[in-house]
Amino acid sequence: MIEMEKEPKDSWIDKVMESTAGMQKAVPADGLFHKIEQKLSDTVVYARTVPLRTVSMAAASIILLVVANVYILGNTANDTNVIEKSPVESVVEYYGLNENGINF
Amino acid sequence: MQPEELLFQIGKGDNTAFKQLYELFKVRVYNTCLSHLQNESDAEEATQDVFVEVHRSAAGFKSNAAVSTWIYRIAVNKCIDRIRHNNRQKRFAFVTSIFNKDSGELMHNPPEFNHPGILAENKEKAARLFKSIRELPENQQSAFILKQVEGLSQKEIAYILDMTEKGIESLLQRAKANLRKKLGDIYDKNEGF
């Protein structure tokens, strides 16, 4: 039985490293330019529509923010009619410590 | 018309100039993408992205470099973006497969790549080379492909990868040393060829 001779390691590596020598250039498919044109027109439409959408969403957010602020401010204004007690007064009232009628 | 003039015309919205520029660079762009991505369908997608970017940026082109190296730079960046995207997808597929055994075939090891332009007698060796290139760090991959496969000069590669010529020289040395080591391991595992 004849045993095939192994190729020396360095020689094999050199051949692999040089295996792209003399390679032909691959050519892209014929329809590729048409696809690029299609992508470009899609990109243009996208570029026109996205800012409009973003602007309308931003406008809606601002309106929502203004409405929420007006609502909160309105409620806060109503609350100012209630006389607030100081923390000491609250504690005294809670534990019933002011039987002598001392004003704080 | 010179490529610079074509770019100027594209910037003004001339589609004929764009078609001419495409014809001038389609093979170089496609082959750069093919060597990086090692998949014909990915290379076509990336080539589309490159020319869309060229069209979009034509008006802003500064002539401090040749149009060809500028286009190569866009191509390499698009390829690296796509490689990263593919790697993220592979990691996700790998994690999914760990948790779900019925999720289908795991595409963790991509199929062997056969470049359509390789000579028949070199096909097997070139497939091993491309497999090893894929395992290199990104910038080593790009430097090696641009030098060895595309035949660009170190000066051009330096502009494309935004490095100095000295940096490219040492990057290429590291890439070649890493490739030789990886190929040596393959040889040892197979107990010779």
* Predicted local confidence at residue B109, as pLDDT: 59
Say whether pTM exceeds 0.80: no
* Predicted local confidence at residue A42, as pLDDT: 82
| CB atoms A40 and B149 under 8 Å | no
Question: Could you report the per-residue pLDDT of A9-25, keeping only the tens digit for each?
Answer: 999 999 999 999 889 99
Q: What number is the average pLDDT over the span A81-90?
A: 70
* B35: pLDDT strictly greater than 90: yes
How close is the nearest chain A Cα to the Cα of B38, in Å?
A: 12
- Higher pLDDT pick, B30 / A42: B30
- Whether chain A has a CB inside 8 Å of the CB on B99: the answer is no
Question: Could you report the per-residue pLDDT of B2-14, keeping only the tens digit for each?
Answer: 999 999 999 999 9
How close is the nearest chain A Cα to the Cα of B63, in Å?
A: 24
- Whether chain B has a CB inside 8 Å of the CB on A17: the answer is yes
What average pLDDT does chain A have? 80
Residue A55 — very low, low, confident or very high, per pLDDT cuts 50/70/90?
Answer: confident
- As given in the structure block, the two tokens for residue A36 are 């690029």
Give dist(CA A97, CA A74) in Å, integer. 36
Please write down the HEC assignment for all residues of A44-103: HHHHHHHHHHHHHHHHHHHHHHHHHHHHHHHHHHHHCCCCCCCHHHHHHHHHCCCCCCCC
Give dist(CA B54, CA B22) in Å, integer. 10
- Whether chain B has a CB inside 8 Å of the CB on A47: the answer is no
For residue B137, which phi and psi values (nearest 5 degrees)? -60, 150
Q: What number is the average pLDDT over the span B35-57?
A: 95
ipTM: 0.80
Question: Could you report the per-residue pLDDT of B119-162, keeping only the tens digit for each?
Answer: 888 899 999 999 999 999 999 999 999 999 899 999 999 999 99
